[in-house]
Amino acid sequence: MLVWKHENASKDYIEFFSMKIAILSQNSSLYSTKRLKEAGEKRGHDMKVVDHLRCYMNITSHRPSIMYQGKPLENFEAVIPRIGASHTFYGTAVVRQFEMMGVFTANESQAISRSRDKLRCLQILAREGIGLPVTGFIHSTQDIEGAIGIVGGAPLVIKLLEGTQGIGVVLAETHQAAKSVIEAFRGLDANILVQEFIKEAKGADLRCFVVNDKVIASMKRQGAPGEFRSNIHRGGKAEKIKLTPEERSTAVRAAKSMGLKIAGVDLLRANHGPVVMEVNSSPGLEGIEAATGVDVAGKIIEFLEKKAGSSAPRDRIPY
């Protein structure tokens, strides 16, 4: 075991032993990757950054293995996946191989895949009764009018299913603009979502950072003047914020519905309560740590110390 619980005459105490932890990341100089490595080393762990796209796998029944730079990746107690959206398929295959080898993964491969599929994610959230913007999904351009009607008409938001960091998200302020954008996207055979525009959010959203079924940090992101998207990458500003009990509960339920133990849940404050915009399986640490002062990287390492080596059940969430 990696963590031992000892008993003496007066109290229990926990002693942590050094672990070998892999961070799956394409770039060791990224803020989140560096912070996780620093936090783990500070607590005495052997941290190794592994470019998952350079891993190759031996898929066999008795001794599954992963090779990296010509050598086997062995004796790891835990893995922290930092999988980019454009490489989800191969990245989750590497995570799955670690799972086959009996290594604890901070987020399991199936949970990552589930959250990355925006349509699937929204359908699961809806099944769990979690608040969402009214959303339409169509294939044929002959059904554009119906989709616009579902979300209450313009203004409305059109999103590419494969978009990240606000890329591929368009606010259509008029009915004709919405029709034109949807026709253009479908003309390129791009899959899109059509969503109601939450005007009362005023270009702001809430990022809730969830670790092990608990919100450990939260911030409000405000879009730049004239920009309805609040992403920091697009000039948005962030500040620490106190969540309501309903917002906190919604964030935790959203992460659990995906099967994610580490997640960034993005909420909007709608008139009828918090609605979930996205559940991110590899949330960035820079903005949330700067805005809140919380050692998020350290909290993630603490979670691994408690869970690695345990006999926790595997992901059993339906589809």
> Given this model, what pLDDT does residue 214 score?
98
The encoded tokens of residue 43 equal 């607590």
Residue 17's pLDDT is 75
CATH 3.30.470.20 intervals, the chain:
115-130+200-305
The terminus-to-terminus CA distance of the chain in angstroms comes to 32
- What is the overall mean pLDDT for the chain? 89
Pick the CATH number of 115-130+200-305 from 1.20.1440.120, 3.30.300.30, 3.30.470.20, 3.40.50.300: 3.30.470.20
Which range is least confidently modeled, 32-41, 90-99, 159-168, 303-312?
159-168
Q: What is the pLDDT of residue 19?
A: 95
pLDDT of residue 9: 41
Model pTM score: 0.88
Range 225-248 burial, b when 16+ CB lie within 10 A, else e: eeebbbbbeeebebeebebeeebb
| Contact (CB, 8 A) for 285 and 277 | no
Which pLDDT band, with edges at 50, 70 and 90, does 274 fall under? Answer: very high
CATH number of the domain located at residue range(s) 135-197 in this protein: 3.30.1490.20
**Triad 176, 181, 185: Cα angle to 5°:** 150
In degrees and rounded to multiples of 5, residue 300 shows phi and psi of -65, -40
Least confident of 5-14, 54-63, 150-159: 5-14
- Minimum mean pLDDT range among 88-102, 220-234, 288-302: 220-234
Write out pLDDT tens, residues 108-118. Answer: 999 999 999 99
Q: Give yes or no for a contact between 66 and 101, defined as CB atoms under 8 angstroms apart.
A: yes
Q: What angle do CA 83, 85, 88 make, to 5 degrees?
A: 65
Q: What is the pLDDT of residue 8?
A: 46
Q: Can you give the pLDDT at residue 10?
A: 44
Range 3-108 has CATH code 3.40.50.20: yes
